[in-house]
A and B are shown apart, each in its own frame.
Chain A
Amino acid sequence: GQQLNQSPQSMFIQEGEDVSMNCTSSSIFNTWLWYKQDPGEGPVLLIALYKAGELTSNGRLTAQFGITRKDSFLNISASIPSDVGIYFCAGPSGTYKYLFGTGTRLKVLA
């Protein structure tokens, strides 16, 4: 079945560093969504991408819809301690069903 694989699974970075993570699919997606989840809370939508090649920013976050439509990338510039959390990619895998990735756990060292 469809899977969304995220890389890296986890990462430790120093405050101020830039962060890059990606999400790959075995099949084509028409929409990519990026969420952040804090411990004990629901995911929060960060960025939505609707078109191959699209590059969208939200503050220090920038996400790109891969031109093959099988991948997406999220970059965080100048990381700060509150960036810590789990980042999920997601996309529609049917008419109404949504598929979430395996997550990238980010820890920021002050």
Chain B
Amino acid sequence: DTGVSQNPRHKITKRGQNVTFRCDPISEHNRLYWYRQTLGQGPEFLTYFQNEAQLEKSRLLSDRFSAERPKGSFSTLEIQRTEQGDSAMYLCASSARHTSYEQYFGPGTRLTVT
């Protein structure tokens, strides 16, 4: 068990560019979550996958955001036409079916939009 991994750890991009982040959950976990965390705040829920199905999306997830989890394994989060307000830490978490409330987080991807 290597834990949840996220890549890249840091991303600096110019406003208007597209970025994509990857999350690899714990291998036996079928549930995957994306969160966004800004400085001084707790994580805010963005979206949830159960296997490959995206079952819930927050209103925070504007049309510029899209997430996928092909084959129910790793997941990607894409932000199109980035804005300075998108600068944040993007966290991924996974959980197992039988302990679904216990989410295990990755180290996050820190996005800076200049």
Annotate B69-106 by CB proximity to A: 1 below 8 A, 0 otherwise: 00000000000000000000001010000000111111
Whether the pair A48, B101 counts as a contact (CB closer than 8 A) is yes
Query: What count of chain A residues pass the 8 Å CB interface test?
Result: 25
Query: Which residues of B56-71 have CB atoms within 8 Å of chain A's CB atoms?
Result: 56, 58
CB distance from A23 to the nearest CB of B (A): 11
Which residue of A41, A92, A97, A102 is within 8 Å of B42 (Cβ)? A102
- Which residues on A sit within 8 Å (CB–CB) of B44? 100
Whether the pair B45, A99 counts as a contact (CB closer than 8 A) is yes
- Which residues on A sit within 8 Å (CB–CB) of B33? 98
Whether the pair B55, A45 counts as a contact (CB closer than 8 A) is no
Q: Which B residues form the contact surface with A (CB < 8 A)?
A: 4, 6, 33, 35, 40-45, 48, 50, 55-56, 58, 91, 93, 101-108, 110
Q: Which A residues form the contact surface with B (CB < 8 A)?
A: 4, 31, 33, 35, 40-45, 48, 50, 88, 90, 92, 94-103
Q: 18 other contacts beyond A48-B102, A95-B55, with CB at 8 A cut-off?
A: A31-B101, A35-B105, A40-B108, A40-B110, A42-B4, A42-B6, A42-B105, A50-B101, A94-B56, A95-B56, A96-B56, A97-B48, A97-B58, A98-B33, A98-B103, A100-B44, A102-B42, A103-B41
